[in-house]
Amino acid sequence: MSTLELFETLARATWRTIRSAHRHHVQFGEDAITSYNLNALAGSGARNIGFEDDRATESHTGCDFELWLGSDRTGWRRYAVQAKKIQCGTGRYTRLAHVSGETPQIDVLDRYAQANNAIPLYCFYNYSHSRLALRRGRGVEQLGCSVTPSHVVRMALATRGARCFDYLHRQPETQPWRVLISEPGLYDTARQEHGFLAQTAIHPALPAALSRRRTATGPTFREDDDYCSAETCLFPRFVGAIQVEA
């Protein structure tokens, strides 16, 4: 199975799992979905990795997870991702305006992404039976995992009644997360247009901590690692590095 096919399979599985959990009144949270998907991605190739960063606490989390996608030959894109799970009964993302301490979570995400040359995204875990979803037919299951740049979420937060599946998935920037593989440069321009970074989104190599993790087990991070910028003193909750050859 190719990496693209795996992203599609995980999106479909997420859609169906959220639907089933809703019907059976089973709690199935964002961390559980992220853990399952990251584990599947890490297990799909010998050079792939996925792990939970045990340094990340609620007050020291810059994003829910990071995805490094690329290869040593072509370079790596770093995505800083905030995950949000839909509330099936209302079709809303009830924690979209979450505040970390006294700072809106979206501000923390954007500052973290800018300091670490990452692309700030939201990843939505979905199931919906709205009219918009029904119009998409069977292909709607690919929205089980959808992504959008943080500036789209800012528009939703500033618009009455917009913190929901229908509004966010009417925006052209909101796409199934397979676009991270099929169209890897899709969000580079959007990030630059909204003032995040002037430099390239592509890192020539993985940080030392991730490179070590690909070849050895044991502690990943050392005191002298520069994985995250000292400007933020924040860490991702989960990290994955998935090799994707162009």
pLDDT 10s digits, 186-196: 888 666 555 55
Strands in the chain per DSSP E: 49-52, 61-71, 75-85, 99-100, 103-104, 119-125, 145-149, 175-176, 202-203, 235-243
Question: By C-alpha distance, which of 39, 169, 146, 162 is closest to 82?
Answer: 146
Q: How far is CA 246 from CA 78, 166, 190, 213, in A?
A: 16, 33, 21, 23
Which residues of the chain fall below pLDDT 50? 198
Rounded to an integer, what distance in angstroms lies between the CA atom of residue 69 and that of residue 56?
21
Rounded to an integer, what distance in angstroms lies between the CA atom of residue 64 and that of residue 42?
17
Summarize pLDDT for 68-105 with one digit per residue, the tens.
999 999 999 999 999 999 999 999 999 999 998 889 99
Domain ranges in the chain? 3-218+228-243
Whole-prediction pTM value? Answer: 0.92
